[in-house]
Amino acid sequence: MIRLFLKEHLVFLVFQVLLVLFVMLLYWLDGFRNVDTAVYSIVITSILTLTFLGTLFIKKYAFYKKILSVPTEIEGVLQREARSPEIKQVEAYLQHIYRLYQKEVQLLYARQNRHLQFMNSWVHQMKTPISVIELMTQGNDQIDAAGVSEEMDRLKRGLDAVLMNARLDTFEEDMQIEQIDIKLLVTEVVSTNKRLFIGSHVFPVISIAEECIITSDPKWLRFVLAQFLTNAIKYTFEENKKIYFETSFEHNQVVLTVRDEGIGIPASDMKRVTKAFFTGENGRKTGESTGMGLYLAQEVCHRLGHEMKIESAVGEGTSVSIIFEQHESTERGELDVDIEVERNNEGV
């Protein structure tokens, strides 16, 4: 402890010695050469310096004792025992670092717990299509190709959900913003899930304006729309119902809405449908809900900078909307027009 203190104040001690020698040299050059006075001055300076350092050491004793001991618990390290402004500031700094550390640990724990719960739920859910395919292959009759394809689609959707959930942690590295034709994108998503529509006897209705362009990531947006579509079909129990894909324009925004004619969401569940693993009253009716679809969709929309809004009425259906800002699309369109005008002028 004393060794650490002396190392910390070695510069101060050297400065004091040099200062005394400099003063003695000035007196010597000025003709004042009384040796007794010089010795007296050196002794008094040494006593005052040692008294000052001793007082400082006593004030820092508790701090030195803390940092030189091996901590056994974090709470002991964070105890406030400072007696000087400098050490008080150090302790405040350590408290702030500890709060940041706690926050990071909690986020990491929550993320790990979410992954674990999701994987457990997904594995349990994927047992159903695997069991169905296994039963089909064990029979002596010809295998039902349509049935196998339907179960394979369920497996693919489950795998996509797992992959997208894993990629959320590195979302920024996997994001590519582009100009997207909404109608073309929605048509692709509907075509990809056509067997799901056919098997449930539900029909898509696409009412989207031609050349409606927005700015987003097409891959992540396909995933979000697939989640909306899957939920809409899953909770539409009656046959010959329709799922509507519509766009509207509000101020400087484009609103893409997926509206179904299903059972709707109870008012008591509306505030929690986007929480991870929340299945709610409707989830208990199907037995296939993981409670992650709308959670992942909201997470993706939030990271892409889009707003997601849900409206529902029991017995009437549910509408899920994504709100896209049009600033970037408008500026891009104006830039394309300017370039085209310049090219035409050059041609003339």
- Tell me the pLDDT band of 224, cut-offs 50, 70 and 90: very high
Tokens read off for 271:
């505030």
Query: Look-up: residue for tokens 């996509």?
Result: 160
CA 15 from centre of chain = 53
Q: Is the pLDDT of residue 74 over 70?
A: no
Query: Look-up: residue for tokens 């091996």?
Result: 70
**Strand (E) or helix (H) holding 257:** strand 253-259
Q: Is the pLDDT of residue 328 over 60?
A: no
Q: How far is CA 97 from CA 79, 90, 102, 189, in A?
A: 14, 11, 9, 46
| Segment 169-181, tens digit of pLDDT | 777 777 888 999 9
Supply the angle between the helices 145-167 and 293-304 in degrees, to the nearest 10: 50
Calpha distance 265→314 (Å, rounded): 6
Superfamily of domain 175-348: Histidine kinase-like ATPase, C-terminal domain (3.30.565.10)
Tell me how far apart the terminal alpha carbons of the chain are, to the nearest angstrom. Answer: 86
| Segment 131-173, tens digit of pLDDT | 777 676 676 566 666 667 777 777 777 777 777 777 777 777 7
Q: Is the pLDDT of residue 329 over 70?
A: no
- The share of the chain scoring above pLDDT 90, in percent, equals 21
Beta partners for 243?
Answer: 204
CA 330 from centre of chain = 29
For the residues 21-26, what does the mean pLDDT come to? Answer: 85
292: left (phi over 0), alpha (psi -120 to 50) or beta: alpha
Calpha distance 171→304 (Å, rounded): 9
Calpha distance 157→160 (Å, rounded): 5
Calpha distance 273→319 (Å, rounded): 13
Average confidence score pLDDT of the chain: 80
| Segment 296-309, tens digit of pLDDT | 899 899 999 999 99
Let me know how long the chain is. Answer: 348
Give pLDDT, residue 334: 43
For 37-69, b/e burial (b = at least 16 CB within 10 A) is: ebeeeeeeeeeebeeebeeebeebeebbebeee
One-letter identity of residue 277: F
Q: Is 242 helix (H, G, I), strand (E, B) or coil?
A: strand
The Cα angle at residue 139 between residues 136 and 143, in degrees rounded to 5: 50
For the residues 188-196, what does the mean pLDDT come to? Answer: 89
Give pLDDT, residue 8: 83
Do residues 183 and 206 touch, judged by C-beta distance below 8 A? yes
- Tell me the pLDDT band of 216, cut-offs 50, 70 and 90: very high
Furthest C-alpha separation in the chain: 123
Do residues 214 and 180 touch, judged by C-beta distance below 8 A? yes
| Segment 251-295, tens digit of pLDDT | 788 999 999 999 999 888 888 888 877 777 776 666 566 677 888
Tokens read off for 115:
């992954």
